[in-house]
Amino acid sequence: MNLRPDLEVPRPSRRSLLTGALALGASFALPGCAYIRDDAPTDAPLPPSAKAEIDGDLVYFNWADYLAPSVVKGFQKEYGVEVIESNYDSMEGMYAKLAAGNQYDIVFPIAKWVVKLRQEGKLRSIDPAELENADQVFYSGSYFNDPWYDPGSKVSVPFTVYKTGIGWRTDKVSSMTNSWKDLWNDEARGRIFTLDDQDEALGMAALLLGYDVNTAATSELDEIKDLLLSQKEYLRAYSSDDINNMTSGDAWIHHMWSGDFLYLREALADDPTSFDFQAPDEGVPINSDTYAIPENARHPGTAMLFIDYLLRPENAIENMNYLFYPFPVKDALPAFADLAKSVPACNVEVSDLENENVFRLLATDEVQRRAAVWTEVKAG
Amino acid sequence: MTAGQEVAKRPRSAQRTSLWGWLLALPTAWMVVFFVSSMVIIVLLSFGRTTNDGYPAFATSTANYRAIWNEVYLELLLRSLAYAVATVIISALIAYPVAYAIALHGGRYKNVLIAAIVVPFFASYLVRMYAWKALLSDDGLVNSGLRRSGLSDGITFLNTSGAVIAGLVYGFVVFMILPVYASLERLDKSLIEAGKDLYHSPVRTFFSVTLPATRAGLYGGVLLVFLPALGDFVSAQLLGGANTYMMGNLVQQQFTEGQNWPLGSALTVGLMAALTILMVAYLRGTSTRGREI
């Protein structure tokens, strides 16, 4: 793991590197002919769960800098294994590596990618009975016993949850209204950023218009396109580098992820009170990252132990204090509420999880219709 | 010199030919496997489609080529061309004096100076772009300096067309400096002396003697800067604003969020075709002018 010496150096948002690095990475990530095929299996039977026992070093595949190094070190020490780290800079990149047959013991897919990987039989089952701390996430009545992306919670364990909202500079802007309309704010004209992310940008406009964040209906997409085009004169840029855009003074209002905002405010800002975050009244997209074990993992037993280790409340709290993203681990929730108490809008409640604003896995024609609109918005 | 004389002088040893043949086989094989085959895949895929599961698949559809005839894409192409041309012109204006100074006045420090220009280019383009962001942001070093010195309240550098072009120039100017330097280096310095005697003016000497004599290097530099600048997406992505999207960004998007490799491939092939036409026209133009001298 990379060590971060202190919190003074802003790390780019884990997703921000996607924007540039992906670009460079993509050309290497494309697995060539192996990917070009017409017979992708669907709803394959799930490979069985492994036992939680050490069966080798852990080959770990995650976004860069997306777990506290101290926690990873603790695992290595306690179990006497190495954690061999690789990183991806986009879900597409992660998926392409798996599809090309690369072997990893643990990956961290975002909810809708769990749907895809599970459908294609690329993930092993995870039997909660094997995990000592399973009751921290799979307690009675927990949302995660049967999340929309993994019915019956067969192949995934929840890692973090977060929402998308608006961060802004309280010392520059005084006319916020807790609406997505604030991304059209006159005071901040020319200093507003929208996330450079197809789902997030289209989802934001859909919520403002009262549509489903996943809409692929042509007439609704046309309205979304016009709405987003009307925003361009207010925008400085489309960028997912939300943390840096805010710390550098370039952004006064930023469409951003709750965890990134909290990290920015609590760990980076000279004056935290000059930053605030809102979860607009029209509703906010909610998303989950998960732990999953690829079907071809060579050390699935170690991966099970690793997941169990990360579910220990003290480790979840240590990770939260580093990442500022909430972990839905029962005994760690009060600690996160405490971390987010200065900006309650950054907290994620179970009621947030149950809303319908989740980015689902869409059919190809739907994705392409949405992509065409997003292209025309950015190019227009 | 005519082609006939050139051939006559070449050694015709059969042994040497076969050695060369073997030495060439490896790089040729490399090119066929990794360059030509990936081109072939791109061309085939440009007639392809995307399956319901989101996989690219080969097919025989011309739908992707019909899709690229789109007003928005044409606008992007024109914008990218404008950025690339501006990049070439600015690069030439920077590269020529730098190369001239080093080649003619560098003395024994020539190689050190060239190394000083080349070495920073070993650092990733991406990392250097991030460094630019840190320098030029609204609260960055440059703007804080301006504010402290009272010269200005701060200038919005980032997220503008200017920032994208500046990023492109910074990224590719070395490809202009090196060929120009090489041609200046080869230039017979006594020609310049003679020019000064003839024209009595350094400026006229430059335009009548030095510039024409180093034209080949400059033409090479123009191509080496123009092509990557036109296809670039990193600069627009990191330094650009809401209205600086380029062709490269468009292609990249099709291969990622857009889930449309076949359309991305068709755009790539279309762009390559446009570039080939431009390049052939350019090479014809330059070689005709070359013969007139």
CA terminus-to-terminus distance, chain B:
14
- Better pLDDT: B79 or B197: B79
Taking the Cβ of residue B52 and every Cβ of chain A, the question of whether any pair is shorter than 8 Å is answered with yes
pLDDT tier for residue A30 given thresholds of 50, 70 and 90: very low
Determine the Cα–Cα distance for residues A18 and B221; give it in Å rounded to an integer.
31
pLDDT recorded at residue A22: 40
Determine the Cα–Cα distance for residues A256 and A273; give it in Å rounded to an integer.
18
Most confidently modeled of A34-38, A155-159, A353-357, B286-290?
Answer: A155-159
Query: Is A3 a residue whose pLDDT tops 50?
Result: no
Residues on chain A touching B41 (C-beta within 8 angstroms): 32-33, 36
Taking the Cβ of residue A371 and every Cβ of chain B, the question of whether any pair is shorter than 8 Å is answered with yes
B256 and A22 within 8 Å at the Cβ level: the answer is yes
Query: Is B31 a residue whose pLDDT tops 50?
Result: yes
Which residue of chain B has the CA closest to A251? B138
Residues on chain B touching A110 (C-beta within 8 angstroms): none
State pLDDT tens for residues A337-359. 999 999 999 998 877 888 889 99
Taking the Cβ of residue A249 and every Cβ of chain B, the question of whether any pair is shorter than 8 Å is answered with yes
Determine the Cα–Cα distance for residues A367 and A348; give it in Å rounded to an integer.
28
A24 min Cα distance to partner chain B (Å):
8
A30 and B53 within 8 Å at the Cβ level: the answer is no
State pLDDT tens for residues A55-75. 999 999 999 999 999 999 999
B254 and A371 within 8 Å at the Cβ level: the answer is yes
pLDDT recorded at residue A320: 94
B249 and A378 within 8 Å at the Cβ level: the answer is yes
A235 and B237 within 8 Å at the Cβ level: the answer is no
Within 10 A of A109 (CB to CB), how many other CB atoms are there?
Answer: 28
Both tokens assigned to B256 = 């990622």
Identity of the residue in A92, A236, A244 whose CB atom sits nearest the CB atom of B159 = A236
pLDDT tier for residue B116 given thresholds of 50, 70 and 90: very high
A19 and B126 within 8 Å at the Cβ level: the answer is no
SS3 at position A117: helix
B171 min Cα distance to partner chain A (Å):
14
Taking the Cβ of residue A378 and every Cβ of chain B, the question of whether any pair is shorter than 8 Å is answered with yes
B256 and A92 within 8 Å at the Cβ level: the answer is yes
Between A and B, how many CB-CB pairs are < 8 A? 128
CB burial class (10 A; 0-12, 13-18, 19+) of residue A188?
buried
pLDDT recorded at residue A6: 36
Query: Is A51 a residue whose pLDDT tops 90?
Result: yes
Determine the Cα–Cα distance for residues B212 and B291; give it in Å rounded to an integer.
12
pLDDT recorded at residue A38: 44
* Residue located via tokens 């609704």: A220
Residues on chain B touching A238 (C-beta within 8 angstroms): 242
Residues 78-107 of B with CB under 8 A from A: none
Determine the Cα–Cα distance for residues A326 and A306; give it in Å rounded to an integer.
18
pLDDT recorded at residue B1: 41
SS3 at position A237: strand
CB burial class (10 A; 0-12, 13-18, 19+) of residue B106?
middle
pLDDT recorded at residue A216: 97
pLDDT recorded at residue A192: 98
Q: Which of A214, A369, A225 is nearest to A286 (CA)?
A: A214
Query: Is B205 a residue whose pLDDT tops 90?
Result: no
pLDDT recorded at residue B288: 67
A375 and B158 within 8 Å at the Cβ level: the answer is no
Name the least confident of A126-130, B4-8, B241-245, B280-284: B4-8
Determine the Cα–Cα distance for residues A348 and A246; give it in Å rounded to an integer.
22
CB burial class (10 A; 0-12, 13-18, 19+) of residue A222?
exposed
A38 min Cα distance to partner chain B (Å):
6
pLDDT recorded at residue A43: 61
Query: Is B8 a residue whose pLDDT tops 70?
Result: no
Secondary structure element (H or E) that encloses residue B21, with its range:
helix B14-30
Residues on chain A touching B126 (C-beta within 8 angstroms): 20-21, 24
pLDDT recorded at residue A185: 98
State pLDDT tens for residues B135-146. 999 999 999 999
Is the alpha carbon torsion for B247, B252, B256, B262 positive or negative?
Answer: positive
pLDDT recorded at residue B250: 94
Residue A146 to residues A137, A155, A304: CA-CA distances in angstroms? 11, 11, 20
Residues 23-62 of A with CB under 8 A from B: 23-24, 26, 30, 32-33, 35-38, 40, 42
Which residue of chain B has the CA closest to A373? B258
Determine the Cα–Cα distance for residues B33 and B28; give it in Å rounded to an integer.
9
Query: Is B291 a residue whose pLDDT tops 80?
Result: no
State pLDDT tens for residues B125-138. 888 888 888 899 99
The stretch A117-146 carries a mean pLDDT of 94
The stretch B114-122 carries a mean pLDDT of 90
Residue A144 to residues A140, A249, A318, A319, B101: CA-CA distances in angstroms? 10, 39, 22, 20, 68
pLDDT tier for residue A190 given thresholds of 50, 70 and 90: very high
Taking the Cβ of residue B253 and every Cβ of chain A, the question of whether any pair is shorter than 8 Å is answered with yes
The stretch A285-299 carries a mean pLDDT of 96
- Better pLDDT: A3 or A204: A204
B252 and A90 within 8 Å at the Cβ level: the answer is no
Determine the Cα–Cα distance for residues B269 and B278; give it in Å rounded to an integer.
14
> b/e per residue, B78-105, with b = 16+ CB within 10 A?
ebbbebbebbbebbbeebbebbbebbee
Query: Is A20 a residue whose pLDDT tops 60?
Result: no
The stretch A119-141 carries a mean pLDDT of 95
pTM over 0.90: no
Question: Where are the extended beta strands (E) located within B100-149?
Answer: none
pLDDT recorded at residue A63: 92
Both tokens assigned to B239 = 């330094």
Residues on chain A touching B124 (C-beta within 8 angstroms): 24
State pLDDT tens for residues B212-271. 889 989 999 999 999 999 999 999 999 999 999 999 999 999 988 888 999 999 999 999
A40 and B243 within 8 Å at the Cβ level: the answer is no
Mean pLDDT value across chain A = 89
Taking the Cβ of residue B129 and every Cβ of chain A, the question of whether any pair is shorter than 8 Å is answered with yes
B255 and A26 within 8 Å at the Cβ level: the answer is yes
Amino acid (1-letter code) at residue B272 = M
Please, which residues have CB within 8 angstroms of residue B80's CB and are 6 or more apart in sequence?
B230, B246, B247, B248
Is the alpha carbon torsion for A333, A334, A335, A340 positive or negative?
Answer: positive
Residues on chain B touching A244 (C-beta within 8 angstroms): 133, 137
B253 and A375 within 8 Å at the Cβ level: the answer is yes
Please, which residues have CB within 8 angstroms of residue B30's CB and are 6 or more apart in sequence?
none
Query: Is B210 a residue whose pLDDT tops 90?
Result: no
Please, which residues have CB within 8 angstroms of residue B88's CB and are 6 or more apart in sequence?
B176, B222, B225, B226, B229
B152 min Cα distance to partner chain A (Å):
16
